Amino acid sequence: MMLYIRADSPYKSIDDIIKAKEPPKCGGSGTADQSALLTRLLEETVGAKFVRVLGYKGGGEVDLAMERGEVVCRATRITVHFSREPFLSWEKKGFDRHLIQAGKKRDQRLVDVPTIYELMDKYKTSEVGRRLTQIFLAGDELGRPMVAPPGVPADRVKLLREAYTRALKDPDLIAEVDRQRLDMEPSSGEEIQALIKELMEQKREVIERVKKLLEN
């Protein structure tokens, strides 16, 4: 994910938002959408405050609201922002500014934009806050995993994993991904399994913080 804001707003960075007397208004569809999720996470981890204006019917409506000036910021997927309208036109006009990205390393399209992990290092976020971040951003790492039911024999699991690995290297598939200006960064079954195991092993304090964040 990434957080973007109108370029004519007074907020040039997350640091500006942390110091601001009046927080920026970010638009979203509901309490579980990307804007709500990422702004709450920034509040919890680095102390940046936001006013969430929710209830829009979708991302398109939020972007129209940004153009009208009802809100000034929104979160979305990096791939979406660099492959669709109105963002392509916004880029040409200099309409928006990129504030933060949620990955562990900087995306090649956002080389000058800090990651949330860099900000947490800067503001000395606690271990609980870092765990919270890992949980809420794990969807980006997991992507859309293919799963099998419990009890599948190990040799079949191995066969399926190898088949997916080969399929994702198919030249025609890669060409189609490039044509649609999408991203394809596949993770192995072993990597996904390890990540899920790590996510499920959390202290009670972290679990309570997750519940609290989801209730707000």
Over residues 33-66, the pLDDT tens digits come to 889 999 999 999 999 999 999 999 999 999 999 9
**118 against 181, higher pLDDT:** 118
Domains of the chain, CATH where assigned: 2-125 (3.40.190.10)
Determine whether 41 is exposed, middle or buried from the number of CB atoms within 10 Å of its CB (0-12, 13-18, 19+): buried
**Chain segment 99-124, per-residue pLDDT in tens:** 999 988 999 999 999 999 999 999 99
How far is 199 from 135, CA to CA, in rounded Å?
6
Question: What is the structure's pLDDT at 184?
Answer: 82
- The verdict on pTM exceeding 0.85 is no
